[in-house]
Amino acid sequence: MKLSIIILAAGQGTRMRSGLPKVLHPLGGRPLLGHVLDTARRFDNVALHVVVGHGADRVCDFFPDPAIHWVIQEQQLGTGHAVAQVLPAIPDDHTVLVMYGDVPLIRKETLGALQVIALNNEVGLLTAKLDDPTGYGRILYAADGSIAGSVEENDATGKQRRLREVNTGFVAAPAHHLRRWVDALDNNNAQGEFYLTDIIALAVADGIIVRGVNTKDRNEVLGVNTRAQLATLERCYQQRQAMACMEDGVTLIDPARFDLRGRLVAGQDVVIDVNAVLEGEISLGSRVSIGPNVVLREVTVADDVTILANCVIEEADIGAGTRIGPFSRIRPGTRLAQTTHVGNFVEIKNSEVGAGSKVNHLSYIGDTSIGRNVNIGAGTITCNYDGANKHRTVIGDGVFIGSDTQLIAPVNVADDATIGAGSTITRDAPAGELTLSRAPQETRKGWQRPVKKK
Domain annotation covers residue 106 = yes
Q: Which among 180, 199, 221 is the end of a domain?
A: 221
Domain annotation covers residue 113 = yes
Q: Quote the pLDDT of residue 134.
A: 85
- Give catalytic residue positions: 361
Domain annotation covers residue 327 = no
Q: Quote the pLDDT of residue 137.
A: 85
Domain annotation covers residue 430 = yes
Domain that holds residue 171: 3-221
Nearest to 25 by CA among 275, 220, 231, 262: 231
Total number of domains constituting the chain:
2
Residues contacting residue 147 through CB under 8 Å, at least 6 positions apart: 125, 139, 140, 141, 200, 204, 210, 211, 212
Mind listing the pLDDT tens digit of every residue in the chain (454 residues)?
Answer: 699 999 999 988 899 999 999 999 999 999 999 999 999 999 999 999 999 998 999 999 999 999 999 999 998 899 999 999 999 999 999 999 999 999 999 999 999 999 999 999 999 999 999 888 888 889 999 888 889 888 888 888 989 999 999 989 999 999 999 999 999 999 988 788 999 989 999 999 999 999 999 998 989 999 999 999 999 999 999 999 999 999 999 999 999 999 999 999 999 999 999 999 999 999 999 999 999 999 999 999 999 999 999 999 999 999 999 999 999 999 999 999 999 999 999 999 999 999 999 999 999 999 999 999 999 999 999 999 999 999 999 999 999 999 999 999 999 999 999 999 999 999 999 999 999 998 888 999 999 998 988 8
What span, in angstroms and rounded, lies between the C-alpha atoms of 391 and 410?
Answer: 5
CB 434 within 8 A of CB 416: no
For residues 214 and 353, membership in a common domain is answered with no
Domain annotation covers residue 193 = yes
Q: Which among 187, 221, 255 is the end of a domain?
A: 221
Integer angstrom CA distances of residue 312 from 172, 253, 341? 46, 19, 15
What span, in angstroms and rounded, lies between the C-alpha atoms of 108 and 3?
Answer: 13
Domain annotation covers residue 386 = yes
State the CATH number of the domain containing residue 121: 3.90.550.10
Q: Quote the pLDDT of residue 12.
A: 82
State the CATH number of the domain containing residue 426: 2.160.10.10
Domain annotation covers residue 154 = yes
